[in-house]
Amino acid sequence: MGEKLICNNKKAFHDYFIEERFEAGMVLQGTEVKSLRNGKANLNDSFAMVKNGEAFLHNFHINPYDFGNRENHDPDRMRKLLLHKKEITKLFSKIREQGYTLIPLRVYFKDGKVKTELGLAKGKKNYDKRETMKQNDMKRDVAVALKERHKSG
């Protein structure tokens, strides 16, 4: 069946070095899934934490479902992430000891189920961000030059 992207976190790649990636399921209510099918979600400023051996996603905004009634969900509630115990233990130790952060990179449907791609990330300093921007500009310039050279050749 494949994957259908719901939303992604472009800012994460600008602000963090992504060291490792994990796929996690998410515990959701019915109206949240319906709203996600309409693409009404926002990952800005969201992050994941490990508490009491469980992983949770904070600040993940899912707009209320348009046709929902009084049973509609709270848009900014904390959502439980579904990971294997070994993965949670590994993440917890890295976050606690080595100064990593757990950032959601994208949310997507995979075989009809909502999945979250989490990145184990380290924060970038301002000079790191400038260096990354410089490298991206150079790659873009090279691509444009190759494209023009290919056209004229």
pLDDT per residue as tens digits for the range 67-110: 766 667 777 789 999 999 999 998 898 888 787 889 999 999 99
Mean pLDDT of 2-10: 88
**137 domain residue, yes or no:** no
Identify the pLDDT of residue 108.
94
Token pair in block for residue 27: 């515990």
Identify the pLDDT of residue 1.
59
**73 domain residue, yes or no:** yes
- Assign residue 107 the CATH number of its domain: 2.40.280.10
Report the distance separating Cα 16 and Cα 37, nearest Å: 28
**26 domain residue, yes or no:** yes
Report the distance separating Cα 136 and Cα 143, nearest Å: 11
**133 domain residue, yes or no:** no
Identify the pLDDT of residue 143.
87
**Could you give the number of structural domains in the chain?**
1
CA 46 vs. chain centroid, Å, equals: 8
Token pair in block for residue 136: 């991206």
Phi, psi (degrees; rounded to nearest 5) at 31: -70, -25
**149 domain residue, yes or no:** no
pTM: 0.75
pLDDT at 152 over 70: no
**140 domain residue, yes or no:** no
Its domain, for residue 55, covers 3-124
**134 domain residue, yes or no:** no
DSSP the chain: --EEEEEE-HHHHHHEEEEEEEEEEE---HHHHHHHHTT-EE-TT-EEEEETTEEEEES-EEPPPTT--TTPPPTT--EEEE--HHHHHHHHHHHHHH--EEEEEEEEEETTEEEEEEEEEEEPPHHHHHHHHHHHHHHHHHHHHHHHHHHH-
Report the distance separating Cα 14 and Cα 126, nearest Å: 10
Instruction: Give the pLDDT band (50/70/90) at residue 112.
Output: confident
For residue 85, which amino acid is it?
Answer: K
